[in-house]
Chain A
């Protein structure tokens, strides 16, 4: 006579382990496929994979993703220039004037922004920036991405600033520091790890976003953004290139998409490892 409780327990344990492994199994398949297909595309292209524009569709040549790579870097930079100060100052306001109506509204509105599908942010920027300007531009893409970055960075930085013990502030005030000095020299200094985490998470999020770029940067596949003035021109980015090339039947363009996916994944994994080294718990 088997003990049914024990049997049920065994079955439950085995099923749980199998389901949990099934949950993470796709990650390995994805990483392996990206590494193999992306790696072989990059090896085939060599240095020109990073510098050249894509070759003609269906051609024997591969070409490269130079403009998209450069575009992604410019987007990351311009987005950080808009998004990081905005997020930091917003978080400071939320912590310093915690009980004010505006602080509470900001908390609700920015955390809700987290759940807004990012394609809608692309839509908004298209309607209020691209249409009035009359052209797609990397600047429009940066504005969209800064909005995507905002709620992530705000929530990290707010938590970090909030965690600084009262006594440090009081020590600052007691030696005659102003509120601004206390916030920017004492509190920010103590919370610097959390602030850095907020910025890194925001940047990681922004570099991997595709949807906000669909109607904003214009996928100018051959143009190299060279300086700040290029921000007002249309440009390209790695995620957008992957999305568009994956839908084409041309094998050289699909190889470029896989190579770009490998680059993007590596960038994200590097940022992730940095975060992991700096802090134990990470939530993206």
Chain B
């Protein structure tokens, strides 16, 4: 096979592979335009969702957008301490004479990243949501209902907070991997310098985490992107109700779970398909933006030893 033929064999697949993302963006934009033309900014700012079969309904994405943001932010806030503690646990506490335990722990984290999201969703809907509804949410409502976030009486366990908690469990391994990778790159001389000061483990870990700060931010962003885009697991626990997520103990909606529930039948309603596609376009932008920002932060982690 000549050089030219070889190139002819491998270049088209590369073109196809890179064209997919471009095609995705163009198709989503193309189908979004009619909705943007009809509803304008109201598409993002209106909380109304009134489908009318065979006639033009009123559609605003404010509630699912807020739900996506709130659930993803809860997920990152809860996942971060777990991920950072796991990094310190495997990198500083365990290695002293226990390499097998360390390997086992890392294998568990790996399995968690690979476990199908639908399995998390099934467990979340059947086990986690009822459990939280009967315990934590009752306590939060009874004890802390003077805080607006906990001021609504929980009816079931399917709430925006459950979505956030389930997402936190799911994204912890991803944040862990991002932070651990750059934690390991901290040069030996820095570590020795910190240790030579006679630091306790706590002081030492604080110094190391300070050095890994860009990676922590990157992990938060990448975790946020994952959480915002997660679909089926959230759809099973979020309650799927058009309800502003101002109280965390009530059901709500997210953009992805709205798409999962409504997209297949959206063609029955004029413009509903286009509205859902524009929701998808926003998810695409959130996913790409959080990834690009995350990579930018990771690039800043360049230690000069």
Task: Point out residues on A near B: beta carbons under 8 Å.
Answer: 5-6, 8-9, 12-13, 15-20, 22-24, 26-27, 29-30, 33-34, 37, 85-87, 89-90, 92-94, 96-97, 102-103, 105-106, 108-110, 112-121, 123-124, 126-128, 147, 150, 154, 178-181, 183, 204, 207-211, 214-215, 239, 242-243, 246-247, 254, 257-258, 261, 264-265, 268-269, 272, 276, 282-284
Contact = CB atoms under 8 A, between A and B. Distances in A.
Contacts of A12: 201-202, 205
A5 B22 CA distance: 55
Given A30-B123, A284-B110, A284-B114, A20 B89 contact: yes
B27 A127 contact: yes
Contacts of A27: 108, 111-112, 115
Contacts of B1: 178-181
A246 B117 contact: no
A214 B264 contact: yes
B141 interface: no
A92 B119 CA distance: 35
Nearest to B9: A89
A255 B176 CA distance: 34
B280 A214 contact: no
Contacts of A239: 116, 118, 232
Nearest to B109: A24
A247 B232 CA distance: 11
Contacts of B301: none
A263 to B, nearest CB: 11
Contacts of B107: 276
Contact of B123 (A24, A33, A127): A33
A272 B200 contact: no
A114 B287 CA distance: 9
Contacts of B202: 5, 8-9, 12-13
Contact of B11 (A93, A181, A247, A284): A93
11 contacts: A8-B200, A13-B202, A26-B169, A27-B108, A110-B18, A117-B284, A180-B5, A214-B232, A214-B264, A246-B121, A254-B126
Contacts of A254: 126
A159 to B, nearest CB: 14
A117 B88 CA distance: 30
A44 to B, nearest CB: 17
Contact of A112 (B88, B228, B288): B288
A265 B119 CA distance: 8
B263 A215 contact: yes
Interface stretch (B58-66, B77-85, B241-249): B77-85
Nearest to A207: B116
B162 interface: no
A121 B18 CA distance: 14
A243 B118 contact: yes
A106 B263 CA distance: 30
Top 6 closest pairs, chain A to chain B, by CB: A117-B229, A208-B116, A19-B85, A20-B89, A284-B114, A89-B13
B119 A264 contact: yes
B149 to A, nearest CB: 22
Contacts of B18: 102, 105-106, 108-110
B214 interface: no
Given A37-B126, A242-B118, A261-B118, 18 more contacts: A12-B205, A20-B105, A29-B127, A34-B123, A109-B21, A115-B290, A118-B231, A121-B24, A123-B280, A127-B31, A178-B2, A204-B114, A242-B122, A246-B125, A257-B122, A268-B115, A268-B116, A284-B114
A116 B228 contact: no
Contacts of A207: 116
B222 to A, nearest CB: 8
B68 to A, nearest CB: 10
B85 A103 contact: no
A233 B9 CA distance: 31
Contacts of A209: 116
Nearest to B89: A20
A179 B263 contact: no
Interface string B279-302: 010011001101110000000000
B209 to A, nearest CB: 11
B163 interface: no
A116 B176 CA distance: 20
Nearest to A146: B20
Interface string B19-31: 0111110011001
